[in-house]
Chain A
Amino acid sequence: MIEDVNMLTNPIVEISGLTKIFNGLRAVDNISFEMYVGEILGLLGPNGAGKTTTLQMLLALTTPTSGDIKIFGLDLERNREKILKEVNFSSSYVAMPYSLTVMENLMVFARLYNIKNPQARIVGLLKDFEIEEIKDKTVRSLSSGQITRVCLIKALLNEPKILFLDEPTASLDPDIADKTRRLLKKIKKERGISILYTSHNMREMEEMSDRIIFLDKGRIIAMGRPEEVRAQFKGESLEDVFLKIARQL
């Protein structure tokens, strides 16, 4: 899966001893990992494992109780603005203003990220995602699959070096989900961006991820290439591994 083994020497995200405690509950418990340039890192685990909290801390939406987050070698808390210019995020659980058209919404975000020649960039991405015809439609009139793709376009507007994706294909039909995965892999290959990916679709995780991190009860219980994790848990597939962990087998 990893095309260039050398990229593993170049961490773009460094997490060390990251912990988040909510009202005495350890949502994330002393996790440490690195993410490398051009890598797709899958973050998986059962509900409540700490995936979303980890993602929120990486996006500076939630402050850690303890531990360090370094992105591009910079401390996230002290360099929030600088770092967030170079990253982006998309989630199937986040929407956009419904009464604005697709173009209006994307132009707002293009201005927010100070994109040069925003119209051309937006049209190019709409073409890539095969939804050029909806640019003048209001978000209200779109299907959930189309909204997801518009959110993905928003996440690619600033040509991020790191993309955080929270279940990006959750509301897409198999055909569009497959096209989206191909497109993300193409973008990753062409631009060498790093992607942190969460999904409950184990087949997708296996297909997409160069490495995966398995979280359970806030802790990392496995980390490595999908085949290494499968071997560690003696599972035939990641789904098999997931079920074993979720059912504590």
Chain B
Amino acid sequence: MKIHRVLALVIRHLYLYKRSIPRLMEVFYWPFLDLVIWGFITIYLTKFKGTLPDFIAFLLGALILWDILFRSQQGLSVSFLEDMWARNLLNIFVSPIRPIEYIFALMLVSIVKLLLASIVMVIFAWLFYSFNIFLLGLSLIPMIVNLVIMGWGLGIITMALILRLGQEAEVLAWAVAFLFQPVSAVFYPVSVLPPFLQTIAQFIPASHIFEGMRIIISGGGFPMHDVLWATALNFIYILTALVFFYWNFSIVRRKGLLARIGE
């Protein structure tokens, strides 16, 4: 892997945010709006569910962590779409860049974007609702890492599908993460799901992370079992995503679609 090629593409994507208010809104505005709306809903609901402990912490913690997963997925797929919309993919792929370097560059872009979005959410969650996500302590680190990796896995699969199916599949960039949300137990425990969905949820890394988050907030200690499950599943997810991407990339080259993408 050549770091100069990776950095070239990271810089290319960061340049985009220098003078584009709509793109900056994508980073800051939506996470902020999510937080405000869900925060008020949570406050309202706690009036009726006073017996449920840590309700605000559950929901706002879930919201911030979900946004990390969603942003890391989008960091890849939307950045890929930016190259497609700019009709720039050909310029990139006639250079000596390898597909893995391209993917790695977009991973770094996604880290920058989600760091910025997370900072906004953490600050406003604390200012508006006195919720401090850092109460989760060091447990937060493996949780965030797992959510980011799952987001990357989904992002790589989304990119592969857009490459294969063309611009008409770009809606997947926004939809794929939400396909996993119902079985990720983001805002509710896995136990409320019907049995067959509970089985599926066992194989979703995020469901273990969100279950783990609730254990920590309830004072149940570090959820080692859940974190290990999530890590093992993520290893399989990212590997599968890369294999899927390379398989699609070879088909796209065989069908001559790379030159036509974006048309």
User: Is the CB of A81 closer than 8 A to any CB of chain B?
Assistant: yes
User: Is the CB of B49 closer than 8 A to any CB of chain A?
Assistant: no
Judge whether A96 and B86 touch: CB under 8 Å. Answer: yes
User: Is the CB of B116 closer than 8 A to any CB of chain A?
Assistant: no
List residues of B whose CB falls within 8 A of some A CB.
2, 4-5, 7-9, 11-12, 15-16, 19-20, 82-83, 86-88, 90-98, 250, 253-256, 258-259
Give how many A residues have a beta carbon under 8 Å from the other chain's beta carbons.
40
Q: Which of B5, B82, B91, B255 has the most CB of A within 10 A?
A: B91
CB nearest to A94 among chain B residues: B90
Judge whether A109 and B96 touch: CB under 8 Å. Answer: no
CB nearest to A111 among chain B residues: B8
A62 CA to B88 CA, complexed, in Å = 17
Judge whether A96 and B91 touch: CB under 8 Å. Answer: yes
Known contacts A61-B258, A95-B87, A114-B4; A100 and B94 CB within 8 A of each other: no
Judge whether A108 and B12 touch: CB under 8 Å. Answer: yes
Number of A-B contacts (CB under 8 A): 99
Interchain residue pairs with CB less than 8 A apart (20): A22-B255, A22-B256, A27-B256, A52-B259, A61-B94, A61-B256, A62-B253, A62-B258, A62-B259, A89-B90, A94-B87, A94-B88, A97-B15, A97-B83, A99-B19, A99-B20, A112-B8, A112-B9, A113-B95, A154-B91
Measured CB to CB, the closest approach of chain B to A41, in angstroms, equals 18
Question: Which residues of chain A come closer than 8 Å to B82, judged between CB atoms?
Answer: 97
User: Is the CB of A239 closer than 8 A to any CB of chain B?
Assistant: no
Question: Which residues of chain B come closer than 8 Å to A87, judged between CB atoms?
Answer: 94
User: Is the CB of A119 closer than 8 A to any CB of chain B?
Assistant: no
User: Is the CB of A123 closer than 8 A to any CB of chain B?
Assistant: no
Beyond A61-B94, A87-B94, A151-B91, 7 extra complex contacts between A and B, CB < 8 Å = A22-B256, A60-B253, A84-B94, A89-B90, A97-B16, A104-B12, A112-B8
User: Is the CB of A98 closer than 8 A to any CB of chain B?
Assistant: yes
